Amino acid sequence: MPSVVLEVRNLSKRFGGLTAVSGLDFDVREGEILGVIGPNGAGKSTTFNIIAGAYPASGGDVRFAGESILGLPPHKIAARGVMRTFQHNRPFAGMSVADNVLVGAHTRFGFNVFGKKSLLDEKANRARAEELMEFVGLGELRQADVATLSFGQGRLLEIARGLAGEPRLMLFDEPAAGLTPAELTRVSGVIRGIAERGIAVLLIEHDMHFLLPLAHRVVVLNFGAKIADGLPEEVRSNPAVTDAYLGSHAAAR
């Protein structure tokens, strides 16, 4: 069985009197696509932001490759091998697509800016960025200004930029949001390809039609707590899930 990359243990987050996440447990393994779903306000984004280091947790632990990453600033979490995408694309304006991808490789450079070592680093990372742009399907646009990309291409850029950091875990924040059906197919294919490379994938998503065919395993949240955990087909037929997700009316149908 592939080794566990991410362990979330008894994770809790309170905003004042509101409990956004309570006692949450799950694992993500190498090469596995884990989907976290739930209706709006279920605590998906809060969980995501705690793992990525944007929010502190109120309790519990997040362990990556056996070590706790809870409380580390985002740049240190990235340096350990956890990269992410943003739901609303955040490209670096005024830079080419290739340079945007190279920012993702930031932690793969030695400290030196001058000298032969740094030139070799630059060359190696550029070659890898080229590969990644081909992999996500932006090969033709490598020299384009990011401002000229469509929303869907921007999402692919987010993915390539994250991969440039050579992550062991990729976090996707609602990767389906705002995409056309053709772009959804493309992004699904890319995410499958990432998992095939042995990278652990954690997806936060509320679009079940996108997520269920893609995920290997699904965790369902409602009101900050886990209500189901299993294979997509198990989750799909779980009455508690349809109840929470679609309302009891849909479950009865």
Instruction: Count residues near another protein (CB under 8 A).
Output: 31
Smallest CA-to-CA distance from 101 within 73, 45, 141 is with 141
Q: Which of 2, 56, 71, 74 binds another protein (CB under 8 A)?
A: 74
Cβ nearer to another protein, comparing 71 with 73: 73
For residue 51, count other CB atoms closer than 10 A to its CB.
25
55 binds another protein per the rule CB under 8 A: no
Provide φ and ψ at 214, rounded to 5°: -90, -40
Closest to 23 measured CA to CA, from 8, 1, 40: 8
Contact in structure between 205 and 37 (CB atoms under 8 Å): yes
Minimum CB separation from another protein for residue 127, in Å? 15
Q: Six-digit token pair at 154? A: 């921007």
Residue 105 beta carbon to another protein: minimum distance, rounded to whole angstroms = 8
Give the range of 1-9, 94-102, 226-234, 238-246 binding another protein by CB under 8 A.
94-102
Q: Does 128 bind another protein (CB under 8 A)?
A: no
Candidates 19-27, 40-48, 78-86, 219-227: pick the segment binding another protein (CB under 8 A): 78-86
- Each as own residue / partner, the long-range contacts of residues 209-214 (CB below 8 Å, 24 or more positions apart, any chain) are 210/176, 210/184, 211/35, 211/37, 211/176, 212/35, 212/236, 213/188, 214/33, 214/35, 214/188
Q: How many residues does the chain have?
A: 253
Task: Work out whether 72 is an interface residue with another protein (CB under 8 A).
Answer: no
The answer to whether 202 contacts another protein (rule: CB under 8 A) is no
Q: Which residues bind another protein (CB under 8 A)?
A: 52, 54, 73-75, 78-79, 83-84, 86, 90, 92-95, 99, 102-107, 109, 113-114, 118, 121-122, 161-162, 165
